[in-house]
Structure 1
């Protein structure tokens, strides 16, 4: 009986030590975060959360934020995910996770995260802007590199947003891109014997461009750039 009591006392003392260590790590993490020492804050919070089974939602979010600021993006994704699961600062958690994935160049996971965030928080301005800037920039790079299909998907990813300016610009980008593709086909069609076949190929591109530009004008009837290209497309298709 004495051995059992001694063993129980020993186990309780070990538990108290762990609790004290966890509290110390938590407090040190809070202090480091306040001092904007993000690398140390992450290390302390990470240790605290591992000891406490990630139960503290506030520190889970703080740990994600500290990881992002310390450029530990993989760790930021992990803890922002936990924050989302705990419904803690969910809009900022989705934004932070998306920015981390963007910085890791994980395009598919980035767009999936923003889409999930917009389902949870429809119309969130930060998420919509993040998606728009990323997809337009990456779309333009893909287009410049001749990767039209990739550019199309990136521009189309913007179309889930509610912001009319973002959506209209994405539709214009799609329309202008396919107009240019059609124009390039026509410019290269110098062989009279092959002109009709090449014209048919160009018309396919022009019709795709027309569809996107009409959608852009449905959002903003005063869009002069879309009007100008659409007039040119209609003239080309009429020939």
Structure 2
């Protein structure tokens, strides 16, 4: 009899312990859905669980963000990645996930702010730098196509402040090409007046030379980063030849 009472008591204690674990049903259901790659159901259950525990479980805040991202619920992904950042959980991935969600939401300004905050929090992070650098390379090319030299240069310069050698080298090459092409265009435009308007031609030639000097400075910085690159060496030679 005594043994039976003891067994019953232990059973009640086990049930009591289980009952004291709030949100266990929702959490387990979310985990099962995640394993089955049913991310919509996983997210629903993770969110229910987080509401029950008053959003105290930072690991599941992050899991909810990832699940939301996988089901293309970018607004929810942005929200939960932001919460993960504030909880200081998987900071680099949380900043990256939030920035990607904002990109999909067409929130360009917010995306850039998130990337810049992320790079301050996790300096030199490869994935954050890659997203940031790729964005400004694309913007620089667009500005260059629109003949907006200053905007293109400003975009490329932002990339030179990163630590990623490949990105920095590409940015310096982009800047060198930008100023080299601009100098060449100035000379080409001025060539018809070389003999008829000598003073004006000399002035234009000086402008072109200023662009070539800038181009040479940037290509030399690219050479320091990528000394074996054939493209960098070829551009350096073209610039030097144009300056002769």
Same fold by TM-score greater than 0.5: yes
Question: For the structure 1 residues 237 and 97, does the alpha-carbon distance in structure 2 shift closer, same or farther, using more than 3 Å as the test?
Answer: same
Give the Å deviation of 1:81: 1.3
Structure showing greater Rg: 2
Give matches, 1:200-219, under 5 Å.
200-219=206-225
Which stretches in structure 1 are left out of the alignment for 5+ residues?
Answer: 1-18
Between the aligned partners of 1:55 and 1:132, the Cα distance in structure 2 is 35
The match for 2:111 is 110
Deviation (angstroms), 1:216: 0.9
Contact 1:175/1:210 (CA < 8 Å) preserved in 2?
yes
CA distance in structure 2 between the aligned counterparts of 1:213 and 1:106, rounded to whole angstroms: 34
Partner of 1:221: 227
Please point out which of 215, 227, 232 is paired with 2:238.
232
Q: How far is 1:90 from its partner?
A: 1.7
What TM-score results when the alignment is normalised by the length of structure 2? 0.76
Structure 2 partner of 1:67: 68
Deviates further, 167-176 or 26-35: 26-35
Please name the residue that 2:123 is paired with.
122
Instruction: Could you list the structure 1 runs, at least 4 aligned residues long, displaced by more than 6 angstroms after superposition.
Output: none
Q: Secondary structure at the match of 2:40?
A: helix
Change (3 A) 1:155 1:106: farther
- What is the distance in 1 between the residues matched to 2:188 and 2:40? 56
CA distance in 2, matches of 1:146, 1:75: 39
Instruction: Tell me the equivalent position of 1:40.
Output: 41
Q: Select between 74-83 and 148-157 the one with higher mean Cα deviation.
A: 148-157
The Cα shift of 1:23 comes to 4.5
Shift of 1:61: 0.1
Gaps of at least 5 residues in structure 2 are 1-20
Which shifted more, 171-180 or 106-115? Answer: 106-115
- Structure 1 residue 80 displacement after superposition: 0.9
Distance in 2, Cα, partners of 1:28 & 1:73 = 22
Q: State the shift of 1:76 in Å.
A: 1.4
TM-score by length of 1: 0.77
Aligned length in residues: 220
> Which residue is 1:13 aligned to?
none
Work out the CA distance in 1 between the residues paired with 2:151 and 2:29: 46
Spell out, residue by residue over 1:85-113, the C-alpha distance to the aligned partner (whole angstroms, 9 max, x if none).
Answer: 11212222122122223333444433433
Question: Distance between the aligned counterparts of 2:168 and 2:55, measured in 1?
Answer: 39
**CA-based RMSD:** 2.7
Identify the residue that residue 5 of structure 1 maps to in structure 2.
none
Contact 1:111 1:157 in 2 (8 A): no
